[in-house]
Structure 1
Amino acid sequence: MNYVRTGLLLAGLTALFGAVGMMIGGQQGMIIALLFAAAMNVFAYWNSDAMLLRMRGARQVDERTAPELVAMVRDLSRNAEIPMPKVYIIENPQPNAFATGRNPENAAVAATTGLLKLLDRNEIAGVMAHELAHVKNRDTLTMTITATIAGAISALANFAMFAGMFGGNRSENNNPLGGIGMILIAILAPMGAMIVQMAISRTREYDADRIGAEICGHPMWLASALAKLDKGVHAIPNMEAERNPATAHMYIANPLSGKGVDNLFSTHPNMANRIARLQAMANGGGQPREMTSQPQPSKKGPWGAGAPTRQAPASPRRTRNRPWN
């Protein structure tokens, strides 16, 4: 259902772009704006992952520097049937994580030191599975397409504002509402595009929660992690994210000021709603599969030594081994 909703929202965003473009500049103006926005977002698509990781001061880790975390991501990637992504750690006290990369073959997952200190191994596995679900779903591509169309609408809106203020009677030739109508379009069109863009982001989070629970095999691992993250992100500010709020939708938890409900301007679903869905999944509303992959020889798996078993995991509060030490 979320895939259908995403498709409908993308169609609506495209229709909004077409209507605004035709009203302001006709077919030629619409095509020019789309090409300009597409060029900007193509560059972002190929370079945004490296730019984002560099902006956040992320450092790549491997089997030597973070053996258990890397082994965990490898095991989960195998279960998700996607290539092993690069693994990064960010020195930031706010507990959070995100995935980036233009496709599963060029992906990366990153976790903050705050998340690694706050969560136990099972909860970290739930979070990493959620991020791998974003990679598996190619959500980066979906949000790039969304950003392309939204960027084109913003470009048209800027033109509309200029035309409405300085175009005089010429604006009335293309827009029956005249100069005032152009100014209204300049204000309302980007707002509508932003609402649709955030709605698409929320649907992708719900899907990543569901598929992430299937990847790790235990919905309550992710549910428990989300409950802790909800408190952690409110208690500890993320100044880097505050300075660059455009990337907030990439995190598993909103790094900016939290929202009490699923309102139109929220990039993330309400945490209580996400946790409730995972609890329903754990209680039979969609059964996740168990972990089936085997750990590497002489490597300690993310849930302890030896192969994962099909029995219930040990209580997370009894096992506090850290995969980043």
Structure 2
Amino acid sequence: MTLPIDRRTLIAGTLASATLAAPALAQSFPLPQGFERFPIWPGKAPGGEHVTVQEVESLRRPESTPDDGVFAHVVTPTLTLLRPKDVGAKPNGAAILLIPGGGYTRVAIGHEGYNIARRFAQAGYTCYSLLYRLPADGWTAGAEAPLQDAQRALRIVRALAPREKYDANRIGVMGFSAGGHLAAWLTSRPPAPAYTPIDATDREPIKAAIAAYIYPVIQMEGAFVHTGSRTQLLGPNPTPERMRGLSLDQNVSAETPPVFLAHALDDKAVPPENSLAMLAALRAKGIAAECHLFENGGHGFGLVAPPAAPVPWPDLFLNFAKRHGL
């Protein structure tokens, strides 16, 4: 007897087959306990015909522990999954896609991936940390290579909902620093596909229920730009049109989901005016938004303990998420 197969089951099955067909992952450091990693593209990532860089994982700081790693020259984009049950928590039927920062030169997978995933898995969320390609490594898509990975990752998180037992319509996207720029690019612009669909997973909409931009890079022009991120993304001499085109306080879509913002006022790397500009743009479009500006914390505070960083932000986000159905 042939059993009926619904569309989501078909998509999940296609994804599983693609994952099995993907190349083995090089692993510099062992994954922390409870985490599971898999590539997001079947075979090689698109547009890599002229890519010659070698992917490398190193410690974020000399004193870092092995699970505080960063990746540079990413060749194999991945998602790293942490389930609530793996931290002894009860699932709440929702998921979060985490996009770590790193100035578009590296990806801080430990500090803004594993650590954040543990915090929100304890609150019941199935968490996925994205390792994405970097724009200056020779990919055909150039600046849009990270966006291709982010779109593919969000579609995968949606496609895996039946298998992982959460609601595909209850998925949040959270990005940090340059990862905040990528998260805003993914969620605040009209969802125009950045790559040619390759399988059933790509039938999933590029859609999230809520978004969070934590000390985000937003502007690519003006006095408050993070020049490092802009140079990596657009090169040393971008045109005014290119800078404005990737300033994410411009062209905010009316379909943007509710947005949570958090920034420290003493951030010297990415000035808080980036979050304020995004807040103004969201308000102008009538998008539900909440913005927290902390007295101190600097840049990249993540979950660092006080007084160095404003640790209440995860609780503030959870309250916001619950109010908006996540």
TM-score between both structures, scaled by the size of structure 1: 0.30
Q: Where is the strand percentage greater, Structure 1 or Structure 2?
A: 2
Q: Where is the helix percentage greater, Structure 1 or Structure 2?
A: 1
Flag the structure with more relative contact order, 1 or 2, with Cα contacts below 8 A and sequence separation at least 6. 1
Q: Which of structures 1 and 2 has the bigger CA Rg?
A: 1
